[in-house]
Chains A and B, each alone.
Chain A
Amino acid sequence: MINKVRLILLIIITVTMKGLTVEKLYQTIPKEIMGWKAEEKDEFYDRETLHEYINGGAELYLTYDFKQAFARRFVKPNAPEIILEIYEMNSSKDAFGVFSSERQDEEVGIGQDSEYGGGLLRFWKDKYFVSILVIGDEKVAKAAILELGKRVADVIPSIGKKPEIIKCLPKENLVENRIRFFHTHSILNRQYFLASENILNLNRQTDCVIAPYQIGKQKSYLLLLQYETQSKAEAAYQSFLQNYMPEASESGVAKMENDKWTMAKLRQELLMIVVEAPDEKWASQLLSTVKFELGVLESF
């Protein structure tokens, strides 16, 4: 009984903290950073209005569980403008998903994962994805961008969990900073164009990851798709075979026209696909090393 009360109190405290955090976050972000001063008015956008701010760029955030965005512009005489944007998602896994979607540069140690390049700092922490961009000469503003990033990361009080499905990726030969987490067909096609139609039956409830595996110059991709039920995974597997490689039949393996191999395998609600494998053995070995841990999958 006492434990139950403790649990309820913990939940109430956590929810209250989270509620306060959102408000506090925008109020506690610095309005001045190394001589750059915030413009008077901050901007806020939600799922309905994000298009007005970043037009087609909004579609990426909307395929994840985007909630609201905050933008603050910093100006300084004779210096380029700095734009801070904070995108709040409904879950930390989707904040990671947005971050992962175009990760390419070196880690700079801000938030839970980060990168800086070309005047753009990107990082995520808890359920927030943060972008800080300079419009103009990045060398002039780099120190301020990084400092602002650290200050923003500091006011986000908690850390979030990465998507559980990432734990299923074998570590050996994995290109870690190219792991992409997503949900939908449109984002899959951004990472690896497979087909014009949604032949894998993806939707916002499917948790998916695609990651490259490289040995020397040889590279292939492992695609893991977590469906809500085993029957949905089975339907997606059959759809993939029928529409993408009908010659594979139930073997789930076929040689493509570029002499690379594609192999698919179903395991309960997890559909696993290797594409661009240099040979059948490579594909088979990669699939056999997927960390299929029931505990992991059951925790979804």
Chain B
Amino acid sequence: MKNLLTRRDFIKGTAYAAMGAAIGIPPGKTNKIKVVLIRHAKALDDKSQHNAEIIQQMLDEAVTTLLGKSGPVEAWKLLIKPMDVVGIKSNVWRYLPTPRELENAIKRRILDVGVEEDNISINDRGVRKDPVFQKATALINVRPLRTHYWSGIGGCIKNYIPFGEHWPDYHPDSCADLALLWKLPQVRGKTRLNILSVLNPQFHGRGPHHFDSRYVWQYKGLIVSTDPVAADAVGLKLIQAKRLEHFGEEVEFETTPKHVQVADVKHHLGVSDLNRIELIKLGWKDGILI
């Protein structure tokens, strides 16, 4: 069978090469993609309330480090221009939405750059009909990290599914081709920054809504990158590490999250190979796992 990947390929550690070879990708690319992981012990309190001030500090430090600038506004100016029309693609999943404090922190810096407030919108499921998103010149992608029923994990790549006209079109083969969303006209080439909230990620889920509060933990972090695939690859590594710690053994994902790797080797959206990612860790180190 053409393009067949078996469990044995993963055991041998040749899955990545096998997938690349199957679709004509030469091995050995060495450019490293930067991903920043920043954590703060007080980002959430004991009642899971988010600390807006600390989250702003975390975002600022992550973005300045990622872009090599001394101040947050200076860094954001590399991402966004005052004339941009900016859509902040958030996530409203009721059990674990993007924290309002994080959305506000992003919006504040976009305003600081000089973008008019009328040219900024925060939206999720209504992006196709949102006038700002319809004429957006720049997108900021932000959502929480969690396991997902049918794609293995819900991360930055998957967050763009509301841009699709008919969502089930992206479900076949465990959502393998979610990266196609990023080629839609409303999206293509517009994403300036990806922020994966790991403030309180979910590492296992159950039931029709795939939510179980026992498997949500306070990691108190943000993963930030210009590359959505690299951000998701780091997020996936984190969830794998947490599952190993919690279950005491490698428990298979409900669905193999292959869309992250497929986004790389088939769709060339970004880098999924951790060997090609430079992970910069900032802040609180307790229980960092990766």
Identify the A interface with B (CB < 8 A): 51, 54-61, 83, 85, 87, 102, 104, 117-120, 122, 131, 133, 135, 138, 186, 189-197, 199, 243-245, 256-258
Contacts and interface: CB of A to CB of B under 8 A. Distances in A.
A127 to B, nearest CB: 17
Given A243-B1, A243-B4, A51 B208 contact: no
B4 A119 contact: no
Contacts of A135: 94-95
A197 B213 contact: no
Contacts of B5: 195-196
Contact of A54 (B10, B209, B214): B209
B254 interface: yes
24 contacts: A54-B209, A55-B161, A56-B150, A56-B171, A57-B208, A59-B150, A60-B150, A102-B207, A102-B254, A117-B212, A118-B212, A118-B213, A118-B214, A120-B206, A120-B211, A120-B212, A135-B95, A138-B213, A190-B255, A192-B7, A195-B4, A196-B3, A196-B6, A199-B1
A257 B6 contact: no
B144 to A, nearest CB: 15
B97 to A, nearest CB: 12
Interface size range on B against A: 35 or more
A120 B207 contact: yes
Closest 9 CB pairs of A and B: A56-B150, A118-B214, A118-B212, A196-B5, A195-B6, A257-B11, A57-B149, A120-B207, A193-B256
B88 to A, nearest CB: 21
B208 A256 contact: no
Contact of B215 (A51, A102, A118, A244): A118
Given A56-B150, A102-B254, A135-B95, A197 B210 contact: no
B213 A119 contact: yes
Contacts of A61: 208
B286 interface: no
